[in-house]
Structure 1
Amino acid sequence: MMIRVANAPCSWGALEFEGLAGESIGYQQMLNELRATGYIGTELGDWGFMPTEPVQLRSELEQRALTMVGAFVPVALANPAAHDPGADEALKVARLLAAVANPNDQPPFLILADANGTVPQRTRNAGRITPEQGLSSAQWTTFARGAEHIARAVYDETGLRTAFHHHCAGYVETPQEIARLLELTDPTLLGLVFDTGHYLYGTGGTDGQHVLDGLRLFGERIWHVHFKDCHPQVAERARTAGLDYFTAVHDGVFCELGQGSVPFAEISPWLYEQHYHGWIVVEQDVLPGMGSPKESAQRNRNYLTSIGL
């Protein structure tokens, strides 16, 4: 099976963080433009952005020959009191995913993440995290057990697998933190969503070689891939000026593909060499003033075509 390319609602300004959402674009326009610009899959986006009734959502996807490939669920996993409510939320989303899954395609993933952007210290220091700003040994155990609890609940009820999304402004941002979580969790139960832009910004550097190093390091656990670029000058300015995560995103740290430091032209053949048969999901956080989401999505798709995807 060839690697296929999807996009996500965040590329049309539907971001999960309050205050960062772009101009209001309805889900039907988003799906129409996503399909028109050459993508054949989508992620769900925030709960309620797309229809949550399975028959209606399935109809919207089938009309456009689109596959639902996953959905993002943030949970404050370092807090044990959040585990059961988090499992309830994940199951609500997973039931919808399972109901609209294409029986002839790879099942969608429940994409689990920390409650990114909710811990002031981590939000303030995203892109330059130091070890003392991380979790204690006991907190790591709590975090990992929570992730496994949710992944097990999702699999037992829906048969869907869960992949964890490392993310800036959360407790799993740096390569060391990703490695720690994977070390503490069952590799048959929890996979990794490798996000190229978040990985590069989370390394504290601007050298795209770090992304290739990360792919090689975590390759066996990578189940799902997000293609996001990282602008080196914006990233360096954010670090030098001590800008928080939201300001850096607003300033365009995650730029269009090919405009930053992520070496996609090297990542693509590496994925093929590793026999990766999953989806690549483009994420271009389009904010007010950044121009037309449809035009940006088209430029991103054209770029991927130019490197063989």
Structure 2
Amino acid sequence: MSDTKAIRIGTAPDSWGVWYPEHPRQIPWQRFLDEVQKAGYTWIELGPYGYLPTDPAQLRDELDARGLKVSAGTVFTGFHKGDEQWQRAWDQAVQVAGLTAAVGGEHIVVIPDMWRSDLDGTAVEPRTLTPEQWDKLAAGQERLGKALLEEYGVKQQFHSHADSHVGTYTEVVRLLDLTDPQYLNLCLDTGHFAYYGGDNLRLIGERPGRIGYLHLKQIDPDYRFEVLKNDIPFADSASRVMVEPPAGEPQFAPIIEAVAALDPEIFAIVEQDMPGVDIDLPLGIATRTHQHIFSCTRAARAN
């Protein structure tokens, strides 16, 4: 019998093109849950709050009927902008963390505000933060992580992101150095980190205690440079730069195995950004991705 450590693999509404609570082109939530089950996954994220049912009893019934479980919810923050951002973040946390904890979820993935609008691609802020803004960002995230843990028993996992102020290797490490690992660790998104040239395995090796969660995605390494050179907004390039595995980078197996060796209770959630996708396409991609992951490594498990 193998003693290989394995981490839990799941998926998310994002892999079905869901970016908003409601949108006429998005897949209905009932069909999403049905297709997650058909594709072979057990674990999911909530996605944008309001997409899945927000009544805990109803959501539990829908999940139980399909043998599904929730790993995390998602909150968006902009603490670098000032103290007034606390209430915005906490209002979301009360809803998202409350629902996540009520259905057994363990984590809150926190995504920072973008410096560029995801609606029209215009720059709404400078691309880099001042030292004072870095301090505000770190203090706000740390306060949020402490409150999430104390009030709801869930852990904050910070998600670096394309077109945000925390995207490069240096920026990610700077945030880690400014925060307490008791209250903030990383949702290491393999695609977003690679988008700015980040080496996922290097970060895992250098900061093993700060890896709390994974998002699995791959990028087209050639098109990534076209995007960066020509300053194309991520929202406009997402569905092309984030490609179906195993066609892109980084390879999943070494990352999954490295993280499994750290902690087999960490989640690895497939998140292939496909905004506006034809709703008939994701099931096939999700199924093939599931098959790829479980065929390329023994360090993956369904439950």
Q: TM-score, length-normalised on structure 1?
A: 0.86
Which residue in the other structure is 2:35 paired with?
Answer: 33
Which residue in the other structure is 1:82 paired with?
Answer: 85
Q: Does 1:95 align with 2:98?
A: yes
Which residue in the other structure is 1:68 paired with?
Answer: 70
Letter in 1 for 2:102: A
Which residue in the other structure is 2:253 paired with?
Answer: 265
Q: What SS is found at the alignment partner of 1:225?
A: strand
Residues 164-188 of structure 1: CA distance to partner in whole angstroms, max 9, x if unpaired?
Answer: 1111111111111111111111111
Q: Given that residues 14 and 22 in structure 1 are in contact (C-alpha distance below 8 angstroms), is that contact kept between their aligned partners in structure 2?
A: no
Which residue in the other structure is 1:128 paired with?
Answer: none
Q: Given that residues 260 and 266 in structure 2 are in contact (C-alpha distance below 8 angstroms), is that contact kept between their aligned partners in structure 1?
A: no
Residues 201-248 of structure 1: CA distance to partner in whole angstroms, max 9, x if unpaired?
Answer: 022x7xxxx222122223211111010101112212212322121222
Letter in 1 for 2:229: T
Q: Does 1:183 align with 2:177?
A: yes
Q: Given that residues 148 and 155 in structure 2 are in contact (C-alpha distance below 8 angstroms), is that contact kept between their aligned partners in structure 1?
A: yes
Ranges of 4+ aligned residues in structure 1 off by more than 6 Å: none
Which residue in the other structure is 1:112 paired with?
Answer: 110
Please list every run of 5 or more consecutive structure 1 residues that lacks an aligned counterpart in the other structure. 102-106, 126-131
CA distance in 2, matches of 1:275, 1:70: 17
1:222 to 166, 189, 211: 211
Letter in 1 for 2:31: Q
* Greater CA drift, 49-58 or 283-292: 283-292
CA distance in 2, matches of 1:233, 1:253: 9
CA distance in 2, matches of 1:109, 1:219: 18
> Comparing both chains, which one has the higher relative contact order based on Cα–Cα distances under 8 Å and sequence gaps of 6 or more?
2
Q: What SS is found at the alignment partner of 1:23?
A: coil
Give the deviation of 1:272 after TM superposition. Answer: 2.9
2:162 to 168, 182, 199: 168
**Cα RMSD for the two superposed structures:** 2.3
CA distance in 1, matches of 2:277, 2:153: 41
Q: Does 1:293 align with 2:282?
A: yes
Q: Does 1:147 align with 2:141?
A: yes
Give the deviation of 1:56 after TM superposition. Answer: 0.4
CA distance in 2, matches of 1:288, 1:231: 19
Letter in 2 for 1:215: I
Q: Does 1:193 align with 2:191?
A: no
Calculate percent identity across the aligned residue pairs. Answer: 30
Give the deviation of 1:274 after TM superposition. Answer: 2.5
CA distance in 2, matches of 1:188, 1:34: 32
2:132 to 127, 138, 141: 138
Which residue in the other structure is 1:104 paired with?
Answer: none
Q: Given that residues 75 and 82 in structure 1 are in contact (C-alpha distance below 8 angstroms), is that contact kept between their aligned partners in structure 2?
A: yes
Residues 126-155 of structure 1: CA distance to partner in whole angstroms, max 9, x if unpaired?
Answer: xxxxxx942111111100111112112212
Please list every run of 5 or more consecutive structure 2 residues that lacks an aligned counterpart in the other structure. none
2:13 to 9, 19, 27: 9
* Greater CA drift, 221-230 or 287-296: 287-296
Q: TM-score, length-normalised on structure 2?
A: 0.88
